Structure 1
């Protein structure tokens, strides 16, 4: 694999050989043997390339491995940074990498070869509430998990109450169909052992000689029994690159102003930046780009960065001096990993107390609520503080000392936590099964307790159009509530001031209708909204330190500060709407089948996994995918569907029509056509569930239930991932012959059974509790829906360049 590493990093093996670490080779070998792994390696040990190299190498060698990599990180900053630092090397291997995050939704359906994303994005797709696309399209990104290689970096940051149990359920449910690699630098042994057992996998750790190679870097650790101040930063910074990490945004902002004032008074010209979550995305990206350059491996720049936990893990940066607030030991070692990160470097780490006047300030790790002495997080902070105080000043951090610190602080507590998670895992399995069946997943329970609100800063709500994507700043919902409560306004003042607004979305089906803004009448109203608009009189945005809430005088002039800018012009922000050209039923089915076959290479490993699980050949699985595609629109052969489509063509479009159709001529950009189409005269009834009901008897007689059910589910949900109710349907003359012709090349002769009553397919949907049914359903749905979309997108690009989702006219 040495030559491959040399090529990967742009080096010539003959002149500058790059030898992978033994553990990296072992990871590749075990993954190639279809083993799931838990990798424990120190920060800066090359875990990223240990994870990516097996996939890239298998692609180059045309070996079976995975259809795609879904590389998940706990924070957006880390996902973005890793994407930027690896994309050139990945592109050199003729592989496509993409970035999928809430603020950069570039690949919502997970169609790249290597997808960098957050754990929130992955788990939300798994439970059926994908962040990046509509709920109706939920079965498309979920299908990407089948045949995938899922990497979870820094898994120790997964919440024991929300994300970790959901991820454990995913591993168990998808074990036969998906490869998993979990990586950590700071998880205690009891947790690693429990995960290895749950995965039925193996643990990989670095050997002594590998650790010794990494030990050529030196970090000295000091405990400071005081709160960090701006003066401390100014005194301790003596050139090079100083990284300051504090636990709260407000503290980072105040330290910046204090420090810059001191430096100015001392006549020291040093570039100081701030990085945290309460910044406009464009500003945050600029700062992140600056950080990656200023704190790079070979940088000689003098700089100071004051940051929060957003730089805690994954960023490939190196400081000469790290000044940090006290934090849990596992988080501390992640912060330490940003100091003297590379071999041969030397650095100093100073940890500052959070006590003032004998009172500890452990936010956000320990809330103000409840008895803190009984709180595990409080005990973790106390244990970390105690362990650091016991170390000799200037202690050299070794891998053994880091391991000892983790086990001392987290070992017992995390052992109890993981045991409780494993004990109650059957409850999470039931929660997720019900969510997949009903479509009522609770993001707060299953992924992350979302307590953030997106804030728009603007002086005029009437000018704010959400379609134009105004810049937003994220902030804790409770923090905003407490700030507004602190204004102490009377009821009359709330009615008259009109400085805080929430959106009111229109009831109309036309999504182009404007959102209106209404002033709130009390602080409690912000607790029920995801988006809030604040006047610049209350929310000042500073170009360097980001959002600052202020109790400004209401009589002052409008604040001369930056407000939210719009990311898209009015023209770009207009809704793109799907337009159709007339297409016969047979033309459409044949084209979608062709698109599906063209994309079969993207599902090779998923097909192989399914064939082994169902004891079929890959060719038979392909045949089932082709069959589902060929039959997906049989509901359109109903009398009422064809009558409405023909009426549209002949009456509205004034065109003679004699064929059975799949689509009519339709200009989605024309408001008059949209309005006319919505009337009862022209809009066809639904067809997806109706088609599945008509095929149910034939499918049940032809296939085993574990195959019949996924076929029917894929057909009934090829427009909406949660459809399950059908109307009565009678088929038109010639329907049987059209079905026969549409199945050309397939050895099946299905019959359609008319339905005189409505059906609710709860029993069919309940089969999603079966893991094999779920996997095959996701696989068939993804293939069918992406082929259907591809067919329409190609036609729209040829005709008028318009694009929209496949549910627009469903």
Structure 2
């Protein structure tokens, strides 16, 4: 184990092996023993690889551990940075030869793995929790049971968990840990969480706490950082005066302030005749431009860099980025955030640096946003008291105080200790309320994001002149902005009611029915600022959202003319022809052909669910072969509703009348060309469009399932069939089956020891009683597991068929 860890820590294959820290090996051993952990370690101690190593080691040695890692971070920039560095390392030839690892990134403005199909998945806490509560940010509500299923058998890492809100995200995450405890492994990591919080989480997790010992801390304490308090608001002139060569990192609390300081500093340096490279980094930038800056930062602020540079950034750099500045100039912020920022100065062994913290008071005004949103009753506002406590503690220090681990711990306990202890106690006391909220959300599909994840969540902004040209499946570039911030900006436009009624500058998407293969997302102009509060994606005209590749998005209070708006709009990463052919096109396929293909793919993919299968088999007191058999049965039966008379009549009519092809078989799919506008229009005609079939199939199988399986197996099996097109379907229509339907079903069950019967339905049903079983955690886990396997195999079968018919070479891309 130690040798493999040493090889993993090397940056190049030919480097001398790097010795892992004792705590890193301790974490790996405990996790591989099946323990859940809370790890406390200072910034720069190597927590990331301590978290990833046990999964990689288990994969190399073929040990039972986890099917995938879902590595969650509080900030998008941090997720992107760790994704790039991890992917680069794991693609090293010497590691790739022993590890076959697919590393992916899933974020709001980089939705590259919305269904969590990678082996090592970097994502944000928002993405994880939204998937858990059944309204995933990364995909449609109809597909909600696919990413949720990725949690079963997963190893979930929460980095910098102290940044989770005590009122929204943390209670939801604690509920997830409790609900999924038998099926999911957890590692929580922090550099700055007070001891009472760590103790409470260890108890709740039924896990262990790992903290670095004095000897290890002393080895990491060869850095020297001097701390100064500046009792004034930072200006561009301060940055110019304090920068005397080397690498200066400026961190401020708001994007607008970072942009204004950049413009101010650029003018000052130009007037002084100083040629210094200055960059800006924040969340309101297109991914390609942010990645360019991040790449520059990684080089300019690297361990051995001698480059002269200035970076003006927001909180996006305060956690996890492996960079080191010689001078850190920062706005005042909470003590735990401040220590994260300090971790970007003199980060590496034997380096020296200076940290200067600037006041947020100016002209009698306290600029405490975004940390303090309301200053009413300041004595009762914990966030306000934390800001005051941090300010007071810094003022009491002697100028030039050396930052030690003891000082960091003292600062955290002094500022956050009592308040966080009170907060975590309240969270634990009221956790049953959050459990009820999440349960209702999972059953009804009506979760309130602001209550369960984050009150100030983000919206992805697309910038474009022509909404009709924007197809979300083509993956347009997006910029992230706070939802409430966008709302307040739009409210401040001071438009008249008539102007809002005629708005052609701000749009939100309308998504089609998941089963309507002919439809696409359309853009609807909003008539009120409040409408953006209900959407994850908003399209803005460049006249309101001017974009510059250097400073990012700049919202305009007054609409610009075309010349002022500039040329920068969201570009697409997929071409239109590729998207249309992959998204909608179907090839004729008989019922038996389709079922056999889906079953084949599901069986071939079983290695990706080994740990989930093992966890479920233990919980349900079955052996893994029996669980696999249930997954196989679900894929074999998922489309029995298509054997209904009305479904087959409509499909046959399409083939014979519209496509002019003779048809005598029972079908699963007809020929459908998404690139043909005439077919798109014809499909919408009632005489061709088949009725829904998923819930109808489940209802027809309900009696047989109830007689064949235990209720806790029958219910998730039926739910997976019922919801293999829409995660919240529950209403069925009447169904009468075709002649030969049962024979087709029995043929489709080849090698399975079952003989199901189908019961026709002459009345409509609402499956509320079946859905209510999702209150049972074991039923929920089995349902997610079966749904994910079925839906991914179902999708892959059609995508693979299309690729073969197009004469394209098979690759792993069809699984995406």
TM-score bracket for the superposition, by shorter chain length: over 0.9
Deviation of the 1:745 alpha carbon: 1.2
Q: Distance in 1 between matches of 2:790 and 2:498?
A: 57
Return the match for 2:625 from 619, 627, 641: 619
Could you say which residue in structure 2 is the equivalent of 1:566?
571
Could you say which residue in structure 2 is the equivalent of 1:45?
45
Deviation of the 1:150 alpha carbon: 0.4
Return the match for 1:420 from 419, 426, 430: 426
Could you say which residue in structure 1 is the equivalent of 2:523?
515
Could you say which residue in structure 2 is the equivalent of 1:806?
none
Q: Distance in 1 between matches of 2:657 and 2:495?
A: 61
Q: Distance in 2 between matches of 1:621 and 1:563?
A: 52
Inter-CA distance 268–58: structure 2 relative to 1 (3 Å threshold): same
Could you say which residue in structure 2 is the equivalent of 1:350?
356
**Per-residue CA shift, 1:404-431, capped at 9, x if unaligned?**
1101100110111111111111111111
Could you say which residue in structure 2 is the equivalent of 1:22?
22
Q: Distance in 2 between matches of 1:24 and 1:103?
A: 33
Moved more, 717-726 or 567-576: 567-576
Deviation of the 1:693 alpha carbon: 1.1
Moved more, 627-636 or 701-710: 627-636
Could you say which residue in structure 2 is the equivalent of 1:593?
599
Could you say which residue in structure 2 is the equivalent of 1:640?
646
Deviation of the 1:688 alpha carbon: 1.3
1:271 aligns with 2:282: no
Q: Distance in 1 between matches of 2:292 and 2:180?
A: 39
Return the match for 1:384 from 379, 387, 390: 390
Return the match for 2:144 from 113, 138, 148: 138
Q: Distance in 2 between matches of 1:736 and 1:573?
A: 39
Moved more, 500-509 or 355-364: 500-509
Q: Distance in 2 between matches of 1:356 and 1:447?
A: 33
Superposition RMSD on alpha carbons, in Å? 2.7
**Per-residue CA shift, 1:746-780, capped at 9, x if unaligned?**
11122222222111110001000000000011111
User: Is the 2:10–2:17 Cα contact (8 Å) retained in structure 1?
Assistant: no
Deviation of the 1:205 alpha carbon: 0.5
Moved more, 245-254 or 673-682: 673-682
Return the match for 1:334 from 340, 354, 369: 340
Q: Alignment partner of 1:693: what SS?
A: helix
Q: Distance in 2 between matches of 1:645 and 1:15?
A: 63
Deviation of the 1:367 alpha carbon: 1.9
Q: Distance in 2 between matches of 1:253 and 1:367?
A: 21
User: Is the 2:109–2:480 Cα contact (8 Å) retained in structure 1?
Assistant: no
Return the match for 1:410 from 395, 404, 416: 416
Inter-CA distance 553–712: structure 2 relative to 1 (3 Å threshold): closer
User: Is the 1:292–1:317 Cα contact (8 Å) retained in structure 2?
Assistant: yes
1:77 aligns with 2:77: yes
Q: Distance in 1 between matches of 2:234 and 2:422?
A: 33
Could you say which residue in structure 1 is the equivalent of 2:6?
6
Q: Distance in 2 between matches of 1:282 and 1:405?
A: 38
**Per-residue CA shift, 1:265-301, capped at 9, x if unaligned?**
2222111111122233332222122111111112111
User: Is the 1:506–1:515 Cα contact (8 Å) retained in structure 2?
Assistant: no
Deviation of the 1:358 alpha carbon: 4.3
Inter-CA distance 271–418: structure 2 relative to 1 (3 Å threshold): same
Q: Give the count of matched residue pairs.
A: 798
Inter-CA distance 802–267: structure 2 relative to 1 (3 Å threshold): same
User: Is the 2:580–2:674 Cα contact (8 Å) retained in structure 1?
Assistant: no
User: Is the 1:461–1:533 Cα contact (8 Å) retained in structure 2?
Assistant: no
**Per-residue CA shift, 1:606-651, capped at 9, x if unaligned?**
1110111111111111111111111111222222222322333333
Could you say which residue in structure 1 is the equivalent of 2:814?
none
Deviation of the 1:253 alpha carbon: 1.9
Could you say which residue in structure 2 is the equivalent of 1:714?
720
Deviation of the 1:160 alpha carbon: 1.0
Could you say which residue in structure 2 is the equivalent of 1:240?
246
Q: Alignment partner of 1:444: what SS?
A: helix
Deviation of the 1:71 alpha carbon: 0.5
Could you say which residue in structure 2 is the equivalent of 1:97?
103
Could you say which residue in structure 2 is the equivalent of 1:734?
740
Q: Distance in 2 between matches of 1:134 and 1:504?
A: 12
**Per-residue CA shift, 1:119-158, capped at 9, x if unaligned?**
1111111111112222111111111110000000011111
Could you say which residue in structure 2 is the equivalent of 1:31?
31
Moved more, 85-94 or 702-711: 85-94
Query: What is the correspondence of 1:282-293 to structure 2 with a 5 Å cutoff?
Result: 282-293=288-299
**Per-residue CA shift, 1:456-476, capped at 9, x if unaligned?**
556x55786455666544434
Return the match for 1:437 from 443, 452, 464: 443
Query: What is the correspondence of 1:301-312 to structure 2 with a 5 Å cutoff?
Result: 301-312=307-318
User: Is the 2:10–2:18 Cα contact (8 Å) retained in structure 1?
Assistant: no
1:396 aligns with 2:402: yes
User: Is the 1:79–1:99 Cα contact (8 Å) retained in structure 2?
Assistant: yes
Deviation of the 1:552 alpha carbon: 6.0
Could you say which residue in structure 1 is the equivalent of 2:812?
none
**Per-residue CA shift, 1:150-188, capped at 9, x if unaligned?**
000011111111111111111000000000000000111
1:159 aligns with 2:147: no
Q: Distance in 2 between matches of 1:110 and 1:88?
A: 20
Deviation of the 1:718 alpha carbon: 1.1
1:229 aligns with 2:235: yes
User: Is the 1:143–1:779 Cα contact (8 Å) retained in structure 2?
Assistant: yes
Inter-CA distance 755–95: structure 2 relative to 1 (3 Å threshold): same
User: Is the 1:500–1:532 Cα contact (8 Å) retained in structure 2?
Assistant: no
Query: What is the correspondence of 1:677-688 to structure 2 with a 5 Å cutoff?
Result: 677-688=683-694
Deviation of the 1:220 alpha carbon: 1.1
Deviation of the 1:373 alpha carbon: 2.3
Inter-CA distance 260–655: structure 2 relative to 1 (3 Å threshold): closer
Q: Alignment partner of 2:790: what SS?
A: helix
Moved more, 349-358 or 524-533: 524-533
User: Is the 1:443–1:449 Cα contact (8 Å) retained in structure 2?
Assistant: yes
Inter-CA distance 534–429: structure 2 relative to 1 (3 Å threshold): closer
Q: TM-score, normalised by structure 2?
A: 0.92
Q: Distance in 1 between matches of 2:529 and 2:762?
A: 54
